[in-house]
Structure 1
């Protein structure tokens, strides 16, 4: 599946500038009772960088809408962080990058009203972590999800270890994160990672958003605040671990191999 931006533009809903903010990496589609933030990077797999995450965070801070949908244009929801930038990162840079990502993921998780991830294609690494920070995840039948960081010689850095553990328990979370495997939409549904599978994932997300518009906002806000408490324990440890691996040779080996499409030979140092 590929989402065609031109088809949405023809409807006249998509904006690049709202409330004086000019978005470079997302398109914003405003509806009466909800909004859609479309990730729209120059790469069709929508790699995440801090600028993109900041723009998503900014959308949540706009004039109140009771529901926000996050979706991806082109070939994927998001295939993860912009890996090519990792080769230049030192431990201190990695710490700041992970801390910034955690701040935004926690902002999404603590947003007072529902946030829906409409997933198609890949939701990997940081893209999967972004989806897990949302309240509801709907995906297409061909979606693939996972945390492949270990295969690059690094670890998840945006809260993925902790949120995945909250969703599916320690055993399954360890299995997925430690192997770096991708799972299918059907497997993700069975494990409780996604809530539904739908061919028209954005339209289904809009149906749910419209349903929320019929419900009392105070009740919705209170239900979310009761259920979506941020589990602080372990989050700081993940930030520290993300920084630590950037002091190893293995992280450079893994990232270079990924960019060169080769199999890495890790040395444990």
Structure 2
């Protein structure tokens, strides 16, 4: 019995829909393959423990309203920064990919790119985030900054604290990863240089609220602290050479003795109420 025209039309529509769906599916797969930052779920090493499609939809729903909720925005941004820092410290700059940061932070791709449109932007903002708390007080007694001198401590003790609590930390090592990468990455170097220069200028102004050069020459203070900061960061590259980790401790002791005649802390009354903080400059 021949098919009626209505049935033939329905069959043709169905076949067209199937063909169109097949073309769209192939196009979507090609686009996914062309995007290096899209996690391939068939590759366990790259996908890791990333969210499934169902989990991702839940994350996407939870990210709605980010723009209207400052507290949520701050929390999400903080989680991303923490993920970037841990990736840099554990895996190094080259392996700190968008996918790995997204997985560690537990956020959607949309939320991550909302804060950081590119990997380069993510690294620049992470560097600024790492430097922000250690710029020094902009005026004597300011409490909004982590740079301080512990009450009653000498320069050697301050340098040991600098190494243990700031430089030789996840944050300090993450910063080193970005700095080393920028040596051969011209685009990254161009992006972070203004932030580094601004930080250095601000630090050199602010350190005068805590220390002074014994020579009485203000311009020497910034030079002396630049020497201190260079030495302390350099311990990262010296440590692998040493069989005995105590050598680092001895180096800090001796360096403190060398620098002590040239630097002195300002009177405690000029420091205001900063003694509750315990950090130093990176």
> Which of the two has greater strand per residue?
1
What TM-score, normalized by structure 2, do the two folds share? 0.28
Where relative contact order (Cα < 8 A, 6+ residues apart) is larger, the structure is 2
> Which of the two has greater helix per residue?
2
Larger of the two Rg values belongs to structure: 2
What TM-score, normalized by structure 1, do the two folds share? 0.29
